[in-house]
Amino acid sequence: YLKVSISGFLTLFSARTGRNFFFSTRPSLVLLCGAGFSLLVSSLIASLLPDGTLDNVKIDGLANGPSSAHKAMPVWVWLYCLAWWLIQDFFKVCTHEILDRFNLFEYKTVLMRDKIKGASSTNEPVEVVTTTTTPAKAAQKEAEPAEQLISQMDIDVDADVDHNEHEHEPAFTTD
């Protein structure tokens, strides 16, 4: 229980910063207080729960036990969660970097389409033609402004489209 509670909140702190490390943006005071209070209560419940049974299953708190090793168990759970959280956050940033650099799964094309559709006042289908490029060319294109990318892809966001004509066609196609 304690591991799930801790890792869930730590994942929240990692996910809220998107492609950046968790420490890149300070969380709000409300989030810090809410998480701190919840983690304190979870730690106390998991550590100090008295011996008993729940649905005919024996339960007891992590710190309940005859040896000092039992008393240190919540600390070890916290250290385990913190270590894996740092690893998780590192790989989150690396994954975003790889996706950006190599446009894996053509996710940048999908993001660009959504940005174009959001800028358009109608929900018209947008055709985007992608080509295979080398990583060096892809890195060079990343530095170009979005307007240049749109003009290079020959996308007409203001085109008049007969929606009945394209009713059964996908809104987004690649060649």
Give the burial class of 126: count Cβ atoms within 10 A of its Cβ; 0-12 exposed, 13-18 middle, 19 or more buried.
buried
Phi, psi values for residue 52, rounded to 5°: 175, -165
Q: At CA 57, angle to CA 76 and CA 46, rounded to 5? A: 30
Q: Taking the model in full, what pTM does it have?
A: 0.60
pLDDT by residue, tens only, the chain of 175 residues: 899 999 999 999 999 999 999 999 999 999 999 999 999 999 999 999 988 998 999 988 898 888 888 889 999 999 999 999 999 999 999 999 998 888 887 777 777 777 776 655 455 554 555 555 555 565 555 555 555 555 555 555 454 444 444 444 555 555 4
Instruction: Give the C-alpha distances (Å, rounded to integers) separating 157 from 24, 39, 151.
Output: 35, 48, 10
> Six-digit token pair at 62?
């992590």
Residue 49 CA, chain-centre distance (Å), reads: 33
